[in-house]
Chain A
Amino acid sequence: MRKFLKNIFYFLLITSFCACDFVDQPFSEIQTGNNDPVPPITDTIPPVIQDTVIRKILIEDFTGHTCGNCPAAANTAKQIQDLYGKKVIVVGVHSGYFAKLSTVAGTKYKTDFRTIAGEAYNNLWKNDVAGNPNGFVNRSKIINSNIIIQPSAWGQAVELLKNALPDFKIELITVYDAGTRSLKTIAKNKALNNLSKKYNLVVYLIEDNVQDWQKDYSFPSGPQQDVENYMHRHVLRDNINGTWGEEIVATSLAAGDSVIKTYNNYLINPSWKANDCSVVAYIYDVDTYEIMQAEEVHIIP
């Protein structure tokens, strides 16, 4: 009996050491200095791509000003952008429950960051039901067959998608008239392969560095969690060509062919800072919603 119990104890002990990974510092994969074992990520992008075009990756961060865990997700998006550089584009989509305006008296959470398109996306994919923060990475289902991806897996999704080859090249040109605040956007969409599906182009207007209230649970509980001058990054302000965009490929397109779309006289809202506004354009597969290519350019180059 005693021997038997002793055997069980040893078995448990051995198993426990075999099946645990105590992670010591450094926790980050990203290291600096001479010991850096990780080459800059831009060096790992396949060098031979038609027209030297890379397939960019769009992270849509579904967020809201009363979502206390959302600043951590925005920080994750920034870390990913720092790591992958211009390969990754980030848009903050304020939508759903946590983007509603506060009904409590005072100034907190009274700015409406919601957009018609953001609400439509949230209604379709139910991001706030899934629990914010969450988001899409190229609207791909590469993680758990689900379009909604938790911020902790955004990096993993980008890593899995980073070597995918592009089917499109998007060239964006913006012409902004500061006097009238009028914006002209030209999107030249070139097929890099023979394509035989239906694709739409969506053009976002985003504003970076918007200071306003934000709930932030990284602070100890209490009033300090209501941050007055939080810097909201990459805020989706409007869809220039509608919630679901405009068709650019109805049935097929030959490699080398281009479809040019021009959007004239879009008026930039007077309360938005033109210097911080950019246009983000992406092409998606209408059947799967997967984003095939994305591009970003400031409205004032």
Chain B
Amino acid sequence: MKNKNAIFIPLKNSNLLCLSTFIFCAIFCSSSVFSQDKDVGSIHGNFQTDVQYYNVDTVIGAPIVPEKLLMNGFANIIYTKGNFNAGLRYESYMNALQGFDPGFKGNGIPFRYASYSLDGLDVTVGNFYEQFGTGLILRTYEERGLGYDNAFDGIRVKYSPLSGIYLKGIIGRQRLFFDYGPGIVRGIDGEIMLNELSEYFSEMKTRITVGASFVSKFQRDQDPIYNLPENVGSFGGRLNISRGKISLLSEYAYKINDPSAVNQYIYRHGEAMFLSASYSQKGLGIVIAAKRIDNMNFRSDRNATANNLNINFLPALTKQHVYNLAATLYPYATQFNGEMGIQGDLIYTIKKGTLLGGKYGTGLNINYSAVNNIHTVPLDDLNEKRIGYTSDFFTPGDEVFFRDFNVELTKKISKRIKMNLMYVNFVYNMEVVQGLGGKGTVYADVAIADISFKLSDKSSIRTELQSLTTKQDLGNWATGILEYTYSPSWFVAVMDQYNYGNTNPDQRIHYVTGSVGYTKKANRFMLTYGRQRAGIFCIGGVCRNVPASNGLTLTITSSF
């Protein structure tokens, strides 16, 4: 039996030495070749580690951690000289922290690259991240906190033949933990910035950018049941227009039949559309956006799930909350298989000297987002054509996935006191968004008060009081945070999250944590001890489940 990945050499420990040699040779050679040039280039980078010691805590349902201590560690080392760049990222998971995919295990160099640019041509070999448009058909990125990294390993060429015309071509395979996915991704993107093309266009008040992309993935069909497409193509177009205070963004993407684990192996095509209009002037900003997604999960392995091997990125189009209860209990994640959503956002500054504006002015942010399923008519053809359903492009379905209405008021009361007040109303289809069967829909109200007191030039106290009330799921929560900062080096914080409304009296638990942080120049240390409740951690609509834990966490970050 031959493993289909056998000829592809993953970058594990055994390759560390040769890679390091490669990088240092590159540095040495470049400094030798350019020995007459006094600039020998520069090396910079950064380091981060999170180490957690886990206590047994059956009350909060914390999973037992046999290792007791887990660690994630990262280091980037980058060499730059003129137009030349080379770098690598070392990663270490011994073993990965709770909540991260167990596929992250051991040590290795999953990211290394070299690039140069000359006369409008930019070449990258090795690993790279790339995005076409908003990412509806291609976007790779790293989000360390989520354990998300779908970097390419291959070749990228960018070229600008004329001012205002930008072309990109990529080919590569995607990172899967310390290995690669089985598919090969090929893509080209062209963008024309009309106002850069000539002097005539540059004087136009209307700014116009048009772009088009094509992405195709190849994966062998070894399935004995289905006749699968080995090459799956996707294309997209975008048009952005702005004039004065108004700007319009639009993007559409289409994908041919791509049966996969996520869409239950149907042969329907995929579509995604994103529209946004905004108006901004001093003290006022308005954004209205809409999107439709239909069967647009696009991965370089048709069998991949979770956050693995995504080729594209579908934005969430909902407010990314930062306050703890609103951000981690009921955050929305994009539904690849189908959703229609709108969002409206108003930012307004009430002028100084008015009744509501007071002495310093008052910031007001009103935001509303709504997401439903798409309307579908099932075809009941899973034993024949497997198209799955038909769907009218402009008709939303009846099932509510998410509603979020929130108002935020930012007010400076005096030179020493600042205040943020926020109200959030959620409707959250837990069964769909989190995939938790039987959980139904949660209706929740959240109220937040965030008040900062500046005690002196160096020290300040900040307090947060949060309340979440709901009759569903785990019932009501209250959170209190008290944080003392002595700048520039120290901060101490205490937080208590109390699930006082849980229908099970044994689960009315206080989750108390204490943190202390110290920063000196480029180094930062933080210790956190206490209980952390289970929750969902999301960035940009991409989420991971974080199980409950009890223990001590040390975080060190550093850069050079």
Which of B188, B265, B437 has most A Cβ within 10 Å? B437
Residues A153 and B261 in contact, CB atoms below 8 Å apart: yes
Q: Is the CB of B190 within 8 A of A27?
A: no
B303 touches A143 (CB 8 A): yes
| 187-222 of chain B: CB within 8 A of chain A | 188, 190, 197, 212, 214, 216, 218, 222
Is B267 an interface residue, CB under 8 A from the partner?
Answer: yes
A158 near B437 with CB under 8 A, answer: no
Are B225 and A23 neighbours in the complex by a CB distance under 8 Å? no
21 contacts between A and B (CB under 8 A): A12-B212, A15-B214, A21-B231, A23-B228, A23-B257, A25-B385, A26-B227, A29-B223, A29-B225, A29-B227, A69-B264, A83-B224, A97-B436, A142-B3, A146-B103, A151-B261, A152-B260, A155-B225, A155-B226, A156-B223, A215-B437
Which of A159-167, A168-176, A236-244, A249-257 is the interface stretch?
A159-167
Check if A22 sits within 8 Å of B256, measured CB to CB.
yes
- A residues in contact with B350, CB < 8 Å: none
| With A20-B233, A129-B545, A146-B103: A102-B225 Cβ-Cβ less than 8 Å | no
Q: Are B5 and A23 in contact (CB under 8 A)?
A: no
Other-chain contact of B230, A21, A25, A153, A155 (Cβ < 8 Å): A21
Instruction: Name the A residues within 8 Å of B228 (CB-CB).
Output: 23
Contact between chains at A23 and B229 (CB < 8 Å):
yes
Which of B175-183, B406-414, B491-499 sits within the interface? B175-183
Q: How far does the Cβ of A190 sit from chain B's closest Cβ, in whole Å?
A: 23
Smallest CB separation, B239 vs chain A (Å): 16
Q: Across the interface, name the chain A residue whose C-beta is closest to B431.
A: A68
B188 near A12: Cβ-Cβ < 8 Å: yes
Shortest Cβ gap from B29 to chain A (Å): 35
B residues in contact (CB < 8 Å) with A:
1, 3-5, 63, 101-103, 161-162, 167, 176, 179, 181-182, 186, 188, 190, 197, 212, 214, 216, 218, 222-233, 235, 256-257, 259-261, 264-265, 267, 301-306, 373, 376, 378, 382, 384-386, 397, 399, 431, 435-438, 545
Residues of B contacting A27 in the complex (Cβ-Cβ under 8 angstroms): 226-227, 259, 267, 385-386
Contact of B437 among A26, A29, A68, A155 (CB under 8 A): A68
From residue A230, how far is it (CB to closest CB) to chain B in Å? Answer: 13
How far, in angstroms, from A220 to B264 measured CA to CA in the complex? 14
Q: Which residue of B lies closest to A41 (CB)?
A: B224
Give the shortest distance, in Å, between A101 (CB) and chain B (any CB).
10
Q: Is A196 at the interface (CB under 8 A from chain B)?
A: no
Interface centre among B190, B226, B302 (most CB of A within 10 A): B226
Tell whether A4 is near chain B: CB-to-CB under 8 Å.
Answer: yes
- Complex contact A80–B437 (CB within 8 A): no
List chain B residues, Cβ under 8 A from A123.
63
Assess whether A131 is interfacial by the CB under 8 Å rule: yes
**Do A67 and B437 touch (CB < 8 A)?**
yes
Are B265 and A28 neighbours in the complex by a CB distance under 8 Å? no
- Please name all residues of chain A whose beta carbon is closer than 8 Å to the beta carbon of B233 when the two chains form the complex: 16, 19-20
Given A72-B264, A150-B304, A150-B305, A20:B225 Cβ within 8 A: no
Select from chain B the residue with minimum beta-carbon distance to A19.
Answer: B216
* Those of A96-112 within 8 Å (CB) of chain B: 97-98, 102, 104, 108-109
B437→A66 contact, CB < 8 A: yes
Asked if A248 is at the interface of the complex by the 8 Å CB criterion, the answer is no
Q: Does A79 contact B (CB under 8 A)?
A: yes
Q: Which residues of A contact B102 (CB under 8 A)?
A: 125-126, 129
Q: How far is the CA of A21 from the CA of B220 in the complex (A)?
A: 12
Q: Is the CB of A22 within 8 A of B229?
A: yes
Residue of B nearest to A82 (CB): B225
Nearest B residue to A24 via CB reads B227
Are A19 and B231 interface neighbours, CB within 8 A? yes
Q: Which residues of A contact B226 (CB under 8 A)?
A: 27-29, 155
Name which residue of chain A comes closest to B98, CB basis. Answer: A129
Alpha-carbon distance A19/B183, docked complex (angstroms): 13
